[in-house]
Every structure is written in C-alpha cells, then in structure tokens.
Structure 1
Amino acid sequence: MAAVSAEEEEEPPEAAMKKELGPTPCGSCIAWPPAVSERYEPLEKLGEGMFGDVYKAWDRVGRRLVAVKRLSGRTDNRFVETSLRYFAREAMSLGACRGHPSVVKLVATHADSARSDGDCFLVTKYAGPLNLRQYMRLRSVQGRPFLEAEVRDAMRQLLSGARRVHDAGVLHRDMVPENVIVDDRRDGKKVVYRICGFGVSERAARPDRDGSAPLASPSPYRAPEIFLGSQDYDGRVDTWGLGCIMAELIAGSGKPFFGANLDAKVFEKMQRAVGTQGIVEWSGLQRLARRDLAAELREKGYATYTGCLREVFPEEQLSEAGFEVLSGLLDANPERRLTAKAALRKPWFRRFSFGGCCFVP
C-alpha cells in the first residue's frame, strides 16, 4: 500500500466531532487493506456507484471526520474496474481545486500496490450527510419549497466552486445533484453546498477529446452541444448542468427538470423548454456530423423558436434578475451561455449597495 499524497490539518475540537460518530459497520463488510483500515475507522456507508462505494469514517491520525471513496480495482458483480489513470485524474482534479470552500477538500490518496487489481482510495474531508438530490427530495416531502433567496445562495456557492474548477484548468463534466454535498446541520446558519464527483473530469486544455463526453453526464444534465456530438466544448458544459440544478431547485419536486425515459425524449423536452434558436445560431453546428439539423429546424419553422422557459417559471416564482441567470445558464447556444464568472456578475447576486455601487462576488 502506497500513500500517494496526504494533508494534515489542525485538530478540531474532539468532543464536538465525537457527536458526529455513528455506529461502526461490520468489519467483515468492508475490505479495506491494512494501511487504510488502520488509519480510518468506518462509521457508516454514504453511497455506492458503479465504480465503488463511499464511507463516512474517523481519521485516527488527523482526528477528524472524512469520507473514504473506494474505487474498485477489478470488475465483479457489484463494481466496474477503475484504472489508475482514472483514479489519478480524479485525484489531480481535486488537488488542483484544493482550498475553495465550495469544493470538497482532498485529504489523502492511497493505492493498493500489494496486488495487480488493488483498489484505490480517495479521502476527502467529510462535507455533509446528504447529496443535493436527497436534500431536494427531503424538502419536497416536508413541503418546504426553496425560496428564491435560498436558490440564490445555493447557486452563488455552486457557481463560485465551478469558477474555481475552471480557473484551475479543469472541466468537471458531471454537474448533477448527486455530485453536490449538502451540509444543513448548522443551527440555523446558511446551508453549505460543495461540489464533488470528479471521476470523469478532464483538463480543459486537452487537445484530443476521448469521445467520452456523452457518457460523462446523465442525459437530463447533458448540454445541447454534447447531445449533438461536439468534441469542441469548454466549461459551459458545466454551467449548463448548474442551470439544470437551478431549475430543479425552483421547481421543488426533486426530479430532473429535463427527465425522460429516453435520451431522444430528453433532447426534445430540452428544445421545447429553452428553444431551438440558439442551436440554429450556434456556429459550431456546421462542424458536426448533424450539420443538416439547422436546415431541418428552419424548414419546420423552429429557427426563431425561443422556448417556453419563462412560462414554466413566471415572475411570481422567479424574479426578472433570477430569470436572467437561469436563462443565461440554459442558453442552447454555448457561445452565448454564461460562464460561471459571468453569471456571478449578474445583478441577482449583488448583495450590498453603497451609493449606487454594488458589491459583486
């Protein structure tokens, strides 16, 4: 077992942290190698995906709560093999974004070198008990819709995190509610949102795309240019995903805003909501295999169709300033779509005014 990287922190108040400890899972259920199990005490399972599982754990060395993500080194009846390349990519992306409060904090990485199909482990600071999907569904069941001020606060944090990711030269490529950790245990203080799930991230400056973009994001969060097969994309594939999240926060149902049972239906639903004008006007459309799409849309009279997003979210539900952000994030034309930096400069996020001059984060 080799430790690839590690970071120690100041010891938090131990008494307060001990209150967080839950029941320890059965040791036989967790196959961690000695170098990992000796340092981290598993407390409860937080989730599971196709590549591995995540546990809340107690870091005996750092005296803190952490999340231990295990990436399976082999394919079996539960998980798909994760290569060292993908492990390194996620670790490097997290490391590049370290220090921002809206991105989960990398603590350590471990790779089991004792066996050829050994597991890899990513350890991050524990960020909260729920992901955003779970939190939205909980709020829906409780009959507690998100107020516009709450949506604004959530989006400010997420866009700020995305700006840090993009400034670090990273594309997340999987901005979905399941990859946002929510901490609402702060005794009436603001809810904290942190971006996680960098497993399919890539370097923004990479000249040779690997064609994996359509597999990176689930279809309800996939930007139109990715649906159309573009390999020429940037951080605005992430801000599209954040626009989808914003729409879901406002809608309050806890379900994907563009959700449908087939990818083709998702794309149709997307076009109805945000329009087809942006796709037709996008210069990159002519470089795609489906370059005849513009002609098809014009023939059908859709070249100027701007969608019905404002009808879905009327002004009594979302202010004009808020809608400017939502429609900017969900612009079908990636050349016009808001970047994270540009979105944060919109009037909706202005908090203080001094003689007509506004502070903008």
Structure 2
Amino acid sequence: MAAILAEEKEEPPEVAMKKELTVPAPCVTWPSAVAERYEPLEKLGEGMFGDVYKAWDRVGRRLVAVKRLSGRTDERFVETSLRYFAREAMSLASCRGHPSVVKLVATHADSARSDGDCFLVTKYAGPLNLRQYTRLRSAEGRPFQEAEVRDAMRQLLSGARRVHGAGVLHRDMVPENVIVDGRRDGKKVVYRICGFGVSEPAARPSRDGSAPLASPSPYRAPEIFLGSQDYDDRVDTWGLGCIMAELLAGSGEPFFGADLDAKVFEKMQRAVGTQGIVEWPGLQKLANRDLVAELRETGCATYTGCLREVFPEEMLSEAGFEVLSGLLDANPERRLTAKAALRKPWFRRFSFGGCCFVP
C-alpha cells in the first residue's frame, strides 16, 4: 500500500469537527493503511466502479471523501483497472487549485493482492450531488431563480475551463458528478466538478472505441450519439447545457430523459432542432452511413427546435437564452466552449465607462 500524493493540512472549525465525529461510523472493510488514516463517517453514494464515503483524515485532521474503486468484479461493481485509476488521479491532479473542481488529497493502491482496490481521497466538498440538491429544492417548492442558475453555471463553466485548459476532457458532465455545498449560512452555494473516471487527454490523436462511452444518454452530445470518435471539449459543454436546462426546469429529472437511447436522441433533436447537426461537416465523415438520409427518413431532419418555447423570456432572459442555446447547439463546431460561454453578456458582473468586465 502506498500513498502517491499528499496535500497540505487543513483543519475545519472545532465545532463542526466535533459534530462530524459524533456520527456512528459505518462498517466498511478497507486495507489497513487506508483504515488507519481515514475513519469512515457516512456513505455518500456508489456508482458502477465503487463507493464513496465521507471520512475523517486522522493525519491531516480534516474531512475528506474516500472513493474506493473496486479491483475486482462482484455483484455490485465493475472491475477498475490500475490504468483507469491512474487516469482519474492524473486528471484530478492536473486541475488542482481551482475552487470549482474537487481537490485531490491522496491516492492509495492496495498492493497486497493482484486484484486489490484503489482509493482516491479528495477534500470533502459537500453532502449532496446536484441531482439530489435539485430534487430537494423541487420537493421543497423552491425553484431556481435565473440569478441562481447564472451563479451555478458561472462556477461550473469556470471549472470546465480549467479542466480543458489542463488538457483534459471530462466526458461525463452530469448532475451526479457535481458536488453541492449549500450549508453556508446565507452565503452563495458552491458547486464543484468531480467524477473523472472516464476522462481522457484532450490531445488524444485517435479513439478506437475501446474507452468507456462518454456520458449516459441524456447528457451525450449529438456527435457521440451518431458514432463520432472525433470530438473535443464541447462534449463537456453540451453536458453543462443539459445541466443548465435542468436547473431552469427544476424537476430534478434529466431534461432529455427517456427509456431508450433512440427516444433520448429524438427528444433532443425536437428540442434543439436538427439543422445544426445536418450542417455539421463531420456528419459526412462518419463511415458507411448516410446519416442525413437516415434523419430525413425518420422525419428528424425537419425539427426546428422548441427550446425557446420551453424556456420563455419570463423564465430566462435573452442573455441567458444565448448561453443555453449556445451550449445546446447540435453543431459541435458552433457550440460554445467554456471559455467562450463565460465571455457572454449574461456573465458580465458590471460595466464602467462602456467597458465590461468578465470572469
């Protein structure tokens, strides 16, 4: 067992620390080197590859999140290879220091067995993911106001800009991979990007289809739906556009949700229109398929889009809609990057003497 990366110590307020340590510890089985350093406090969730616990770091004297990646296949989890573990760890490390990306604290790999588990330790970022938070707000009858959506998107796009600037494609921008800290006594809610399990280098020269498919279908960009392996960081900004639509809708459910992938794709095209994807030059490069003809045969090529009808001006200003429609442009070459989106008027904080200042 080896710790690969360590971070500076950081102690939370004494009152909060005592409160956290009074929670009965869950029963988990971790290798001795992990269990000796981290005391599990409560389970935060689980996914395909493992589970996540809030824990107390006895060495750093701080709250952390310990993500266990299963080294073997069992009834609950899919095996995670060391290659995927290293990829996630390196992606997090390359983005360290940005307030809208979870902070990597340490990594551990169980070398005692060939199929040992791996552990990613990050600074504890909050009790809920964005899906849980949105559903909670919906149940409480507290819809998101436009200013709240703008603040959330500013943080998430700023984090995405840092991720992309570090040469990383996240490839799984979904509400479950956004941690929300809303317990701030009237201060603004903080949103942080996590879940780099299917990330990859932005400069990867080619993709052979062996990597995990980017994003579940309600958040999958149109070009990936159509089988393109030639994509860039705008697959992430598409996912952020889906998140923005969900915040505005306020139900806590996927905006393009449906029971079958084909229905998701049709719902997507009905909302944003098909002109963008039909005009995309890359459509003609996809091998052995006349996709434009297929779209016409299914009737999809005539969809003009209804996004503005779904989000009228009384719900979302013209400046806000410019960002939403730019993130959800079906043509990836026209779709906004994170950097370009942040320069839109919707995000301008103030102006002075005709000069606008942007984040």
Quote the offset at 1:14 in angstroms.
3.3
Work out whether residues 169 and 205 of structure 1, in 8 Å CA contact, stay in contact via their aligned partners in 2: yes
Q: CA deviation at 1:301?
A: 7.5
Q: Secondary structure at the match of 1:81?
A: coil
Once structures 1 and 2 are overlaid, which stretch shifts more, 340-349 or 302-311? 302-311
Could you give the per-residue CA deviations for residues 171-218 of structure 1, whole angstroms, max 9, x where no partner exists? 000000000000000001000000000000000001121415672310
TM-score, L = length of structure 1: 0.96
Cα distance 1:193–1:298, how it changes in 2: closer, same or farther (>3 A)? same
Q: How far off its partner does 1:80 sit?
A: 1.2
Q: 1:136 to 1:273 in 2, by over 3 A?
A: same
CA contact (8 A) 1:86 1:199 kept: yes
The 3-state SS of whatever aligns with 1:266 is: helix
1:12-51 CA distance string (max 9 Å, x none):
4334333333x2113xxx1101100000000000001111
Q: CA deviation at 1:11?
A: 3.2
Using the TM superposition, give the Cα deviation of residue 245 of structure 1 relative to its aligned residue in structure 2, in angstroms.
Answer: 0.3
Distance 1:354 1:225, change over 3 A: same
In the alignment, the residues of structure 1 paired with residue 297 and residue 47 of structure 2 have an alpha-carbon distance, to the nearest angstrom, of: 43
Separation (CA, whole Å) in 2 of partners of 1:120 and 1:188: 38
Instruction: Please state how far the C-alpha of 1:107 moved relative to its aligned partner.
Output: 0.1
Partner in structure 1 of residue 261 of structure 2: 263
Q: Distance in 2 between matches of 1:272 and 1:127?
A: 36
Give the equivalent residue in structure 1 for 2:2: 2
Runs of 4+ in 1 over 2 A off after TM superposition: 8-21, 212-216, 295-306
Contact between 1:277 and 1:302, CA under 8 Å: does it hold in 2? no
**How far did 1:150 drift?**
0.2
Shift of 1:328: 0.2
Deviations 1:92-128 (A, max 9, x none): 0000000000000000000000111110000000000
Equivalenced residue count is: 357
Equivalent in 121, 124, 146 of residue 123 of structure 1: 121
CA separation of 1:112 and 1:332: change in aligned 2, threshold 3 A: same
Offset from partner CA, 1:77-98 (integer Å, 9 cap, x none) = 1211110000000000000000
CA contact 1:272–1:307 (8 Å) conserved in 2: yes
Instruction: Give unmatched runs, 5+ long, in structure 2.
Output: none
1:141-152 aligned within 5 A = 141-152=139-150
Conservation of the 8 A alpha-carbon contact between 2:72 and 2:116: yes
Q: How far off its partner does 1:76 sit?
A: 1.1
Q: Helix, strand or coil: the match of 2:300?
A: coil
Match of 1:19, SS state, is: helix
Tell me the distance in 2 between the aligned counterparts of 1:129 and 1:56. 9
- 2:298 and 2:304 map into 1 onto residues whose CA distance is 14
Conserved 8 A contact 1:14-1:63: no
Q: Do the aligned residues in 2 keep the contact of 1:111 with 1:119 (CA within 8 Å)?
A: yes
Partner SS for 2:264: helix
Q: Is the 8 A contact 2:10 2:62 kept in 1?
A: no
Residues 299, 33 of structure 1: alpha-carbon distance in 2 compared, 3 angstrom cutoff: closer
* Mapped partners of 1:177, 1:219: distance in 2: 13
Pick closer, same or farther for the CA change 1:101–1:239 going to 2, 3 Å.
same
Instruction: Give unpaired runs (5+ residues) of structure 1.
Output: none
| 1:198 alignment partner, SS class | coil
User: How far 1:9 sits from its partner (Å)?
Assistant: 2.4
* Residues 248 and 254 in structure 1, CA contact (< 8 A), matched pair in contact too: yes
SS in 2 for 1:20: helix
Q: 1:13 to 1:141 in 2, by over 3 A?
A: closer
Q: Distance in 2 between matches of 1:32 and 1:105?
A: 22
1:244-281 Cα offsets, whole Å, 9 max, x none, are 00000000111000000000000000010000000110
Residues 271-320 of structure 1: per-residue CA shift (max 9 Å, x gap): 10000000110000000136412234457776564311101111111100
Task: Tell me, in whole angstroms, the C-alpha distance in 2 between the residues paired with 1:182 and 1:87.
Answer: 24
Contact kept in structure 1, 2:206 and 2:230, CA below 8 Å: no
Shift of 1:351: 1.0
SS of the equivalent of 2:301 reads coil
| Counterpart in the other structure of 2:246 | 248
Shift of 1:326: 0.2
Give 2:351's match in structure 1, choosing from 350, 353, 356.
Answer: 353
Displacement after TM superposition at 1:353 (Å): 1.3
CA offset at residue 235 of structure 1? 0.3
Separation in 1, partners of 2:115, 2:328: 42
Between stretches 301-310 and 237-246, larger displacement belongs to 301-310
